[in-house]
Amino acid sequence: MSYSTYKQRNRELNDAARTWRGGYQPYDLVKEATIALGVVALIAVVLAILFSSPDEHPSSIRSWSRGQPVDFVTTAVSELDGSSGTAGYGPPYNHAQIGQHIAFIHLQQWFGVAHPINTAQDYVIGPLSQIPGQPALQAAVATYTHASASQQAKWTTAYSNALAHADVEPQPTKTKPETEPAGASDVVVMPPGNYGPVTTMMNALLLYAQAGGLDGALLRSGQFYSTDYTKILMFLADGGLLASRAQAEHLLGTQWGMMNETGSFPGQSWLWLYTFWYQIKPFSTSANADILVVAVMGVLSVLFVLVPFLPGVRDLPRKIRVYRLIWREHYASGS
């Protein structure tokens, strides 16, 4: 340290330690804190009224199957024939593909299938096999599972193509109580076609979901507390329910949606740091956008943590002397 720098630092320390000889004014800390609390509370209430989002009820397979039975059945068939998004996702759910990567870095492939999901077994065949007292249904499941892959594909393809002309009607064999909500026992009526056992399976799965049984079947984990909603969320994501709700609440990725959380103000405003990158190229057009954004945010986070150790950056507060602006009256009196 040079002599001139030493004298400057010593002068600053003496200025900071000098006894205040100016005037004094009375200050009521309790009154000041009360006023500040009241003003902040008022601002918070006004902002919550103006900018908060409605606290919507959570989506479930039960509500989805009742409100959009055709979409539910369409999604269930895609899970059965392996054409859904989850079926072709790759790790950590299956080996359908290697997943996103950056050059030689394949994180999904390296970590492997940590949460295996067999869409046909987990979403359709397994839950249907647990329904007791329906021999016709179990016979249909056995017929499908013992058929060849090509025969299964013929049935599911024919059923999927015919869904565009399907109708929704109340279940004819059940007397609906007046207290039962609309859609609680609706069935999807298909036009004539060769669907094999798929029609019986889909009708049974729809009624099972409308009764709430499928939510419980997918949540069951063998543990005392079942808190893993992965299978339910992936099933919902394969359908159109979540996308329609997101669009209605302006939560799509093209709408900078994650900044507008349903619930209390201010929501997930901190996520703009991530969602910003999805709006610009090359992230907005890349199939590896997720891992690219994570890499960028990782580098930026490390740089932020290292600010106290970066020469030049760490010295900015001392160079621009922000403290002299804050304590300007003290330094003005000392001069």
Q: Which of 15-24, 102-111, 234-243, 326-335 has the highest mean pLDDT?
A: 234-243
Predicted local distance difference test score (pLDDT) of residue 313: 80
Considering the chain, what is the average pLDDT of its residues? 83
Q: Are 287 and 97 in contact, with CB atoms under 8 Å apart?
A: no
pLDDT beyond 60 at 79: yes
Q: Residue 311 pLDDT more than 80?
A: yes
Nearest to 253 by CA among 230, 285, 299: 285
Identity at 184, one-letter amino acid code: A
Q: Report the Cα–Cα distance between both ends of the chain, in Å, rounded.
A: 26
Could you tell me how far CA 207 lies from the centroid of its own chain? 28
Q: Is the pLDDT of residue 264 over 70?
A: no
Q: Compute the half-sphere exposure of residue 190: CA atoms within 13 Å on the CB side of its CA.
A: 21
Q: Between 271 and 65, where is the model more confident?
A: 65
Average pLDDT estimate for 43-58: 81
Looking at residue 16, its pLDDT comes to 72
Does the pLDDT value for residue 243 go beyond 90? no
pLDDT value at 31 more than 80: yes
CA-based nearest residue to 61, from 244, 261, 237: 237
Model pLDDT, residue 1 = 62
What pLDDT, in 10s, does the model give residues 92-136? 888 888 888 888 888 888 888 888 999 999 999 999 998 988 899
Q: pLDDT tens digits, residue range 178-191?
A: 555 555 677 888 89
- In Å, how far are 4, 79, 122, 209 from 216, measured between CA atoms? 76, 18, 12, 9
